[in-house]
Copies of this chain bind each other. A is one copy, B any other.
């Protein structure tokens, strides 16, 4: 009975499992478990490499197995389905872009809010250009039926959180957001209140985010991903040739709307 549960859990997010199991036992348990974790990591690593090469739709579990050096059916000991492997890659991608954004924003001068906004925006775009297939995996058309929300929702929040933190810091020193004075319909106000409450755990001073600032922040997040999507998915073709200057300029424009500049 207990074993059946451990099996079910082990099929999920493996890395956290190993942490919890090591926490429970003091050190890594059996050699079998270590081998299992190692092989699982190798599979995801190879899958990540192939994803970067051929994209999500062409990613083949058999091809991954071939490169790892085992037969396809053996992979099913570690991932119950191809979609589950893809879900793991989605989580990894969220973590990857989140790390990129966090690193960039920490490297920026903290009190220069506009620089921080440009840093996170530029980092996300640079990450997307360097890993277009991973970007498409998380922000493009959902490949499996619909992605498992429960595992992905946490790492997915990293970038928008970093973005909203800038807004909070701006509001703390009297910054004003473009749509501050526009009335928000009651239903949306209730939603935003709940959202703000949910953010209080990961955001220092989330209560400073009034409805206008929150909608403006969500819109900035939408604009950022929308612009990168347009660029990566070819919708700037025959419209804008120099994507760098276009992106930089529009990011500057958004900074104005966010009340971060001039």
Contacts and interface: CB of A to CB of B under 8 A. Distances in A.
Interface stretch (A4-12, A39-47, A244-252): A244-252
Max count, chain B CB within 10 A of own CB: residue among A149, A184, A216, A235? A235
A112 interface: no
Contacts of A240: 191, 195, 218
Contact of A249 (B215, B225, B250, B253): B215
Interface in A128-144: 136-137, 139-143
Interface of A: 55-57, 136-137, 139-143, 146-147, 149, 153, 156, 178-179, 182, 184-185, 187-188, 191, 195, 198, 215-216, 218-219, 222-223, 225-227, 229-230, 233-235, 237-242, 245-246, 248-250, 252-253, 256-257
B147 A234 contact: yes
Given A178-B178, A239-B218, A184 B249 contact: yes
Contact of A141 (B140, B178, B230, B242): B140
9 contacts: A141-B233, A178-B256, A182-B256, A184-B249, A222-B226, A223-B223, A225-B226, A225-B230, A225-B235
Contacts of A195: 239-240
Contacts of A142: 136, 233-234
B143 A57 contact: yes
Contacts of A187: 242, 245
Nearest to A188: B245
